[in-house]
Amino acid sequence: MSDFVRIVEVGPRDGLQNEPAMVATADKIELVDRLSATGLRSIEATSFVSPKWVPQLADAAEVMAGIQRRPGVAYPVLVPNEQGYERARAAGADEVAVFTAASEAFNRRNTNASIDESIERFAPVLARARQDGVRVRGYVSTVLGCPYQGAVPLADVVRVARRLHDLGCYEVSLGDTIGVGTPRQARDMLLAVAAEVPMAALAVHFHDTWGQAVANVAACVEAGVRVADSAVAGTGGCPYAKGASGNVASEDLVYMLHGMGIDTGIELEALADTGRWLAAKLGRATGSKVGRALAAA
């Protein structure tokens, strides 16, 4: 495996959609442009889920029209179904992401559908994407625990991840949505999935509810994964999981990886500056320990 880890920055989508504050469209555009200048190669720009369910990202088309796309940087967007895919394509998206869960209980609360039904909804997206030459990323949430059913069997995580990969997702992101996992659990989960899906097609996505997210990523990197999701300033959370805090902060993750001798291509100080800028827009301090430390230095 290489000594490079690709960070998928999900702050503009997974971060902002779960923040109580509404962010102006111009600020969302500036956020993506600032992130593009840090060396990130993948920035999830927005979501084309119905504004009824995600009002914070109702301006998705305007954001896509306003951002300055840099060569070599991907700007995927989240879509729930074929209608969302059509809206995303009309807005100029050339990479999309679809989502489901490993927990039936969570999926029904989150999407009002079973896992199989949610996959049936976005299966046409994969078919259309193949025709259009659009790359599709897949998300599997609740891989280490569910707020409704508790423990999630590893077999369910493996089955859903394999199905997404078989359908054509070039990459499957494994998400600890409520942030309950620990490093050994995270590593064991990753290796179980990697027995059925190539490690090169896997990513990890950890929330920091119990302060384990950075350690969980480290365990998974040591086990072989080379893609990790994170959100600048530690934004986000999960509206369906009581007490779930934000995503692992991109600044903290980059600091750790660089300290492990692993390259990310990201300029840490520029990223931390963007995190502090965003936190000010949200009316709070940054959720990144590294961001706060750099500001105090």
Q: Which domains does the chain have, with CATH numbers?
A: 6-296 (3.20.20.70)
Per the DSSP assignment, residues forming a β-bridge with 100 are: 140
Long-range contacts of the stretch 25-28 (C-beta < 8 A, 24+) = 25/59, 25/62, 25/63, 25/66, 26/66, 27/281, 28/59, 28/63
* pLDDT computed for residue 110 by the predictor: 78
Q: Measure Cα distances from 19 to 30, 99, 174, 239, 255 in Å.
A: 17, 19, 22, 9, 24
Question: Can you state the angle between helices 104-111 and 115-132, rounded to 10 degrees?
Answer: 70
CA distance 239 to 269: 30
User: Running along the chain, 297 residues long, what does each successive block of 10 average in pLDDT?
Assistant: 89 92 95 98 97 93 98 97 96 97 90 90 95 98 94 97 97 95 98 98 95 97 98 80 76 97 98 96 91 91
* pLDDT computed for residue 53 by the predictor: 87
* pLDDT computed for residue 170 by the predictor: 98
* pLDDT computed for residue 236 by the predictor: 85
Q: Lay out the sheet containing 135-141: strands in order across.
A: 42-43, 6-9, 227-230, 202-206, 171-176, 135-141, 95-101, 77-78, 46-47
* pLDDT computed for residue 238 by the predictor: 61
* pLDDT computed for residue 19 by the predictor: 85
Q: Which of 146, 169, 220, 238 is catalytic?
A: 238
Does 238 qualify as catalytic in the annotation?
Answer: yes
Nearest to 115 by CA among 124, 107, 123: 107
Q: Name the burial class of residue 220, with classes exposed (0-12), middle (13-18) and buried (19+) by CB atoms within 10 angstroms of its CB.
A: buried
Q: Which two tokens stand for residue 36?
A: 């593009």
Nearest to 193 by CA among 148, 229, 217, 163: 163
